[in-house]
Amino acid sequence: MNNESNKNFRRPDRPESEFTDKVVEIKRVSKKTKGGNQIHFTALVVSGDKKNRVGVGLGKAKSVADAIQKAILKSHKAMINIPIVNGTISAAIQLKFKGAMVLIRPGKQGSGLIAGGPVRAVVELAGIKDVVSKIIGSKNKSLNVWATLKALSMLKK
């Protein structure tokens, strides 16, 4: 088998997706039962087309791979459009979501992404090139991702 001709080794029949997926967090969860410990996994995935659409999904399953697949499907179904003006957002926005507070401001042309891990994942996959952000409050990755998504969804064209 020629390696150059077959780029997609696992599933050559599956078409390439237009979305880029990024796993933000994987957690191992165990539950005590009468028969012993029940172990399963949760995966938080951010998907985007790097143009103006982004979505977040949380998948739960007995194996890591299944949890990631479920999260990818959920994130593709929950896509939102974000208004991007000259590679940045139109206005500054500060949003509190549960224990997390996120501040996102438009950046100057060429300043790049100045954002922490969870916020960076969402903003990067949305296709925003220049932005300045600050996470205030909670260090919980999943809360910060959801807060960022909610803040970006509140922007108007």
Which pLDDT value is given to residue 81?
A: 93
The CA distance from 28 to 62, in Å, is: 10
Which residues pair with residue 113 across a beta bridge?
131
Which pLDDT value is given to residue 157?
A: 66
88 and 131 inside one domain: yes
Q: Is residue 28 domain-resident?
A: yes
pLDDT tens, per residue, the chain with 157 residues: 455 544 445 556 656 678 899 999 999 999 999 999 999 999 999 999 999 999 999 999 999 999 999 999 999 999 999 999 898 999 999 999 999 999 999 999 999 999 988 999 999 999 999 999 999 989 999 999 999 999 999 987 6
142: domain CATH number is 3.30.230.10
Which pLDDT value is given to residue 156?
A: 79
Task: Compute CA distances 71 → 33, 74, 150, 153, 157, whole Å.
Answer: 26, 5, 18, 20, 29
Which pLDDT value is given to residue 74?
A: 95
42 and 92 inside one domain: no
Question: Number of folded domains in the chain?
Answer: 2
Q: What single letter denotes the amino acid at residue 72?
A: I
Instruction: Quote the pTM value.
Output: 0.84
The conformation of residue 34, written as its DSSP 8-state character, comes to T
Q: SS in 3 state form for 96-147?
A: EECCEEEEEEECCCCCCEECCHHHHHHHHHHCCCCEEEEEEECCCHHHHHHH
Give residue for tokens 């300045």. Answer: 132
56 and 89 inside one domain: no
Backbone angles phi, psi at 127, to 5 degrees: 95, 10
Which pLDDT value is given to residue 10?
A: 56
Residue 68 belongs to what domain range?
20-80
